[in-house]
């Protein structure tokens, strides 16, 4: 019997469901795992990636299902909730199904966004562990990242204080690091705007090298991006060693391996390659692995998680961050290319409220009540906003992946509004499913499950939007025009010079193109809703991540350290001192 999410908060639903959650021993029996293939962490466990993929390597892959969305409101449109509801619905149809989602950062969890555990009857458990550190992957990434900064700053201090001869006696060569060209900051997994810009090394000559520095949120670390795309442990080690942590005074890269810290950083991260096994509140298995930014990084759960899931399950569900213009595009052209895995279906999540926003509805502000236009029937706003859905639908079709539009139903949506979205979707030749997983769990997602099963049986002709022999600027032009709907691209002088240099050097040929822009519009301007026309994408700079092998053309300013709002979620989180249960998570 589903819980009533109109009367129970998510943390209360989770607490009830967790009373019957399978133990690691029960998961081993249910999933046919050997004892050494699980690593217990209290009431949850990790899956030993290396052992599992070795034992299951001859097993054929299951059906690969990706979940994306239309351009969201600032509140998000329920991709994680839909992913979990779809898993529940497929299980109700008797399918062997599981999935993999991203791990949430403590920054958003304690700030505005909340825990990203889904919601209602499409919720991930154990919710407290999921929301507050899980099995330590983000802590390990933070420590590995900061170890790299320790290696850099201590080396700078020693090179400043010692002669070449003195360095040689200590078995060190002078790297001649340029303090103005340090690429990394320190890592902290909170939204701490006060730490964005700091000065370090104040004091005497034994107190470090005096220079400007700062902090970035841990999930923005290149190490997190690398974890999400690493194919295996050797690939992880190689990429960590190749991270450019700074440049020398001649403009040459100074990598983690140059600092002889790449191995030790990998040692901190050795256990992060193992996905954590959690589940829905209806007890279907869901792995949690990696949690990279969706703007400067790939915004997906890991390739490792998908490799495991496709061997373990007949249907494996994964989710892409943000809307289809960012998350799906990177899934299509980056993650799928790196993994070699070909998806069968993409679920495009749409909500009535997002369509109303794109149709000219009032501004949606997190933490404030929704204007009445979003809670009362307004067919004109819905119809005016349909173009955004159809644009993303067209993008998915360009990949050759079969699309299914999921209307993620809210209690305030009217039958006429839902019928209108279905009519436009079906007129465009796509499957459309109405899903009430939030209120009804798997029973509410049966229509969606059926549509996904049907779509997964149809042969697709998957292909990339571009190939890696295409020059960087042509790739960006194609993404801007074919995915965003821009008329073209305008390159700043600095960005154009960098692009020319990257294009002339063959070592960058296999670098992935990782676009950086707002998720709140198809364009670079978050204020432009719907399907903007007559605009040009401005590229002002290109970031280089040499370990992840990303070239990141920037169509807007990006902060690697978000700020905490005036009404953060931590104000409502507490602990029941009798039971020890965490309350107030959402």
Catalytic residues: 79, 81, 102, 113, 294, 322, 410, 438
- Cα–Cα distance for residue pair 184/142, rounded to 1 Å: 12
Q: Which of 312, 278, 302 is nearest to 97 (CA)?
A: 312
Q: What are phi and psi of 200, to 5 degrees?
A: -120, 165
State how far Cα 13 lies from the chain centre: 25
Helix (H, G, I), strand (E, B) or coil at 585: coil
**Residue in the block written with tokens 């931590």:** 570
Residue in 56, 33, 57 with CA at minimum distance from that of residue 46: 33
Q: CB within 8 A of 181, min separation 6: which ones? A: 246, 247, 248, 251
Please tell me whether residue 171 adopts helix, strand or coil conformation: coil
What one-character-per-residue DSSP string does 304-345 give? HHHHHHHHH-SEEEEEBSS-IIIIIHHIIIIIHHHH-PPPSE
Separation of alpha carbons 420 and 2, rounded Å: 28
First to last CA, the chain: 21
- HSE, side-chain direction, 13 A CA sphere, residue 155: 27
Q: Which two tokens stand for residue 406?
A: 């999921």
Three-class secondary structure of residue 194 per DSSP: helix
Contact 434/451 with Cβ under 8 angstroms?
A: no
Could you tell me if 565 and 582 are in contact, meaning their C-beta atoms sit under 8 angstroms apart?
no
Q: Quote the tokens at residue 483.
A: 């995915």
CA atoms of 343 and 460, how far apart (whole Å): 9
- Helix runs in 201-290, H state only: 222-229, 233-241, 262-269
Q: Are 538 and 168 within 8 A, CB to CB?
A: no
223/217 Cα distance (integer angstroms) = 12
C-alpha 277/C-alpha 288 separation (Å) is 6
Q: How far apart are CA 62 and CA 253, in angstroms?
A: 42
Strand 215-217 versus strand 186-188 pairing type: parallel
Q: How far apart are CA 443 and CA 434, in angstroms?
A: 12
């Amino acid at each position: 019997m589903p819980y009533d999410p109109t009367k129970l908060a998510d943390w209360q639903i989770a607490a009830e469901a967790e009373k019957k959650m399978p133990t690691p021993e029960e998961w081993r029996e249910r999933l046919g795992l050997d004892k050494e293939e699980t690593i217990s962490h209290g009431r949850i466990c990790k899956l030993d990636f290396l052992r599992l993929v070795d034992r299951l390597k001859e097993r054929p892959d299951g059906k690969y299902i990706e979940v994306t969305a239309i351009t969201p409101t600032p509140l998000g449109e329920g991709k994680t909730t839909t992913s979990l509801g779809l898993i529940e619905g497929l299980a109700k149809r008797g399918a062997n199904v599981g999935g993999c989602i991203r791990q949430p950062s403590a920054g958003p969890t304690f700030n505005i966004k909340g825990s990203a555990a889904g919601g209602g009857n499409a919720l991930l458990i154990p919710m407290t562990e999921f929301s507050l550190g899980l099995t330590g992957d983000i802590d390990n990434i933070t420590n590995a990242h900061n170890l790299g900064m320790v290696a850099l700053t201590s080396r700078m201090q020693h090179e400043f204080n010692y002669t070449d001869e003195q360095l040689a006696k200590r078995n060190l060569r002078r790297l001649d690091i340029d303090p103005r060209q340090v690429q990394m900051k320190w890592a902290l997994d909170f939204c701490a705007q006060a730490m964005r810009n700091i000065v370090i090394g104040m004091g005497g000559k034994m107190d470090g090298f005096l220079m400007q520095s700062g902090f970035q949120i841990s999930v923005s670390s290149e190490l997190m991006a690398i974890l999400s795309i690493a194919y295996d442990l050797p690939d992880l080690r190689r990429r960590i060693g190749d991270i450019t942590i700074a440049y020398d005074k001649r403009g040459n890269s100074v990598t983690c391996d140059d600092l002889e810290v790449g191995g030790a950083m990998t040692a901190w991260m050795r256990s992060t390659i193992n996905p954590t096994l959690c589940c829905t509140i209806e007890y279907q298995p869901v792995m949690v692995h990696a949690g990279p930014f969706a703007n400067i990084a790939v915004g997906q759960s890991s390739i490792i998680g998908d490799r495991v899931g496709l061997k373990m399950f007949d249907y494996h569900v994964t989710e892409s961050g943000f809307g289809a213009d960012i998350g799906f595009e990177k899934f299509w052209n980056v993650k799928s290319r790196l993994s070699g895995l070909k998806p069968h279906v993409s679920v495009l999540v749409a909500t009535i409220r997002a369509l109303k926003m794109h149709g000219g509805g009032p501004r949606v502000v997190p933490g404030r009540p929704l204007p009445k236009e979003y809670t009362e029937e307004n067919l004109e706003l819905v119809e005016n906003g349909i173009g955004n859905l159809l644009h993303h639908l067209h993008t998915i079709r360009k990949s050759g992946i079969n699309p299914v539009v999921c209307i993620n139903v809210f209690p305030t949506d009217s039958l006429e509004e839902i019928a209108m979205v279905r009519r436009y979707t079906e007129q465009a030749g796509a499957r459309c499913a109405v899903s009430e997983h939030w209120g009804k769990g798997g029973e509410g997602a049966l229509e969606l499950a059926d549509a996904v099963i049907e779509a997964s049986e149809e042969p697709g002709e998957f292909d990339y939007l571009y190939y890696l022999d295409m020059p960087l600027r042509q790739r960006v032009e194609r993404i801007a025009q074919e995915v965003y709907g821009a008329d073209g691209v305008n390159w700043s002088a600095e960005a154009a010079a960098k692009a020319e240099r990257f294009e002339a050097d063959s070592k960058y040929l296999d670098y992935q193109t990782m676009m950086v822009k707002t998720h709140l519009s198809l364009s670079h301007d978050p204020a432009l809703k719907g399907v903007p026309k007559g605009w040009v994408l401005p590229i002002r700079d290109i970031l280089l991540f040499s370990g992840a092998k990303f070239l990141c053309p920037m169509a807007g300013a990006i902060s690697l350290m978000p700020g905490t709002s005036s009404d953060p979620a931590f104000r409502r989180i507490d602990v029941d001192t009798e039971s020890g249960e965490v309350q107030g998570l959402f």
